[in-house]
């Protein structure tokens, strides 16, 4: 049977998910590392303070949930898993922000996205018994190759002493951030309830704020931005992070490993900047 022309031209769900991951997440996220690094160099803003500011931008989503009549924390039977998803995302972004302050943002993005692709594919095989398509395997192999090249070249040029320790720590944090990202995407892939996307976005802001503010005063020292450039960078990070919440939508349409592979567009943007 022949489909109507408007149905033949309509993209599949997987294509929609990958387009959202590319345009709504990968390209904007590539600028976050630059803004975080500029804010750190201009006003020495610590990573936890940047994370807390980002979480503030997610709190107004509560108004949308209230207008829809949805519970702020999600249905009671899966509230714990939704909060766990938010906690994992906080860990991922916190590690990523810390990594870009220790290693070049392009290298940090490559390691983070490469490890997320590899880990999400392996977790899908081990936990979900899902078969990977040819596109998934291409993304997995490409990410693994990029991960080996970046980490190998970075670790091969380490200096002795403190700088080498901090550089190694930066790559470790980037890898942990990618691992947490893959866990968060797989967890969201299994969540299914009305207003799932705005609920987990609000929980990200709430859980992140409750965790990052006390940690900021214990582990780091809060700093008030001293110049307009730092304020602009903080605002840009918050807005771009809010747009990047589309990543959760993307994994409902395409395999998490393939979504992570498409997110390598962040690496290209970070390297160009």
Lowest mean pLDDT among 117-126, 186-195, 209-218, 233-242: 117-126
The 10 Å Cβ neighbour count of residue 41 is: 13
pLDDT at residue 32, as a whole number: 77
Give the lowest-confidence range in 20-24, 66-70, 126-130, 168-172.
Answer: 126-130
Pick the more confident residue, 137 or 242: 242
DSSP codes of every residue in 103-172: S-HHHHHHHHHHHHHHHHHHHIIIII-PPP-HHHHHHHHHHHHHHHHHHHHHHHTPPSSHHHHHHHHHHH
State the chain's mean pLDDT as an integer.
77
Element spanning 241, H or E:
helix 228-243
**How far, in Å, CA of 202 to CA of 74, rounded?**
10
Q: Do 203 and 82 form a contact (C-beta atoms < 8 A)?
A: yes
Identify the CA nearest to 248 among candidates 69, 134, 88, 98.
Answer: 88
Is 141 or 219 the better-scoring residue by pLDDT?
219
* Rounded mean pLDDT, 43-47: 84
Task: Give the rounded percent of residues in the chain with a pLDDT score beyond 90.
Answer: 5
Burial label for 66, CB within 10 Å (0-12, 13-18, 19+), is exposed
* Residues in contact with 14: Cβ distance below 8 Å, sequence separation at least 6, in sequence order: 253, 254, 255, 258
**206 band by pLDDT with thresholds 50, 70 and 90:** very high
Per-residue confidence band for 120, with pLDDT thresholds at 50, 70 and 90: confident
pLDDT score of 17 more than 60: yes
If you average pLDDT over residues 95-103, what whole number do you get?
A: 82
Alpha carbon distance 241, 66 (integer Å): 22
Supply the pTM of this predicted model. Answer: 0.75
Query: pLDDT value at position 197?
Result: 84
User: Mapping DSSP to helix (H, G, I), strand (E, B) and coil, where does residue 64 land?
Assistant: helix
User: With bands split at pLDDT 50, 70 and 90, how would you rate the model's confidence at 176?
Assistant: very high
Cα gap 194→58, rounded to integer Å = 18
Determine how many CB atoms are found less than 10 A away from the CB of residue 146: 17
């Amino acid at each position: 049977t022949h489909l109507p022309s408007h149905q033949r031209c309509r993209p599949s769900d997987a294509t929609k998910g990958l387009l959202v991951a590319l345009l709504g997440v990968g390209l904007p996220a590539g600028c976050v590392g630059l803004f975080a690094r500029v804010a750190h160099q201009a006003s020495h803003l610590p990573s936890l303070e940047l994370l807390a500011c980002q979480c503030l931008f997610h709190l107004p989503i509560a108004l949308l949930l209230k207008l829809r009549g949805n519970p702020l924390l999600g249905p009671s039977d899966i509230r714990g898993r939704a909060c766990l998803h938010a906690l994992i995302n906080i860990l991922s972004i916190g590690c990523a922000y810390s990594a870009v302050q220790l290693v070049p943002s392009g290298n940090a993005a490559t390691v983070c996205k490469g490890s997320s692709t590899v880990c999400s594919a392996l977790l899908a095989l081990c936990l979900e018994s899902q078969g990977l398509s040819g596109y998934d395997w291409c993304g997995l192999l490409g990410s693994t190759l990029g991960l080996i090249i970046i980490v190998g070249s970075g670790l091969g040029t380490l200096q002795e002493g403190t700088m080498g320790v901090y550089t190694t720590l930066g790559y470790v944090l980037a890898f942990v951030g990618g691992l947490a990202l893959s866990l968060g995407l797989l967890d969201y892939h299994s969540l299914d309830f009305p207003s799932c996307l705005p609920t987990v976005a609000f929980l990200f802001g709430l859980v992140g704020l409750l965790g990052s503010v006390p940690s900021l005063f214990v582990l780091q020292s809060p700093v008030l931005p001293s110049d307009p450039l730092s304020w602009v960078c903080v605002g840009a990070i918050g807005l771009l992070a809010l747009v990047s919440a589309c990543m959760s939508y993307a994994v409902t349409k395409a395999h998490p490993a393939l979504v992570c592979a498409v997110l390598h567009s962040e690496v290209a943007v970070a390297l160009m900047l």
